Amino acid sequence: MAAPVEKTEKQKMLDNEYYLPSCPELSADRARAWNLLDQFNTITPANGAERDVVGHQLFGSWTDGNFINSNFKCDYGYNIFLGKGFEMNYNCVFLDCGKITIGEKVFIGPNVQIYAVNHPLDPVKRATCLEIGQDVTIGNNVWIGGGAIICPGVTIGAGAVIGAGSVVTKDIPALTLAVGNPAKVIKTITPSE
């Protein structure tokens, strides 16, 4: 009987298990992403076809015509899946150690941060530099206001609105408005609004 093959740190990350980000493979993946981000962020949005070429190389999924203002930052890019009609304003940061899946026609304001990664609470374990990916999912037709922070493991339902400056620590149902720190649902959205 063959001995079980030990997972690489990258495979552990992709499987949402604790992993060491300092391994050579993940370090090379981050360097690749940074090089692509340098290209992406220097191409003006007016040169959409050029940006689309880099977008297909950087992201796990990209639809031609998606719009991202500079300066965008992420860890890997390949763990970010963007639906059709995606629009994002200036200076956003996505920590994509876990998957970040975003639906169609999602609008994201400036300075929004999405964290799909976490660290151990135990300070002894945290000192080992382990991380764990925790996927973030955002449904179709969501609007996230400027300066919002989306925490690890959160799902935001289709048609929801996250108020500017909110910190989303728990799942938000579809067709609701959530605001505050931590974000709380304050109303249900009706089709006429």
Residues forming the active site: 119
With contact defined as beta carbons under 8 Å apart, do 92 and 67 qualify? no
Q: How far apart are CA 11 and CA 62, in angstroms?
A: 23
114: β partners: 94, 150
Q: How far apart are CA 178 and CA 193, in angstroms?
A: 15
- The Cα-based distances of 95 to 33, 84, 114, 152 in angstroms read 12, 21, 6, 9
42 phi, psi to nearest 5 deg: -95, -10
DSSP string, 85-120: T-EE-SS-EEE-SS-EEE-TT-EE-TT-EEE-EE--
The one-letter amino acid at 169: T
Please tell me whether residue 155 adopts helix, strand or coil conformation: strand
Here the tokens at position 181 are 């720190």
Q: How far apart are CA 190 and CA 174, in angstroms?
A: 11
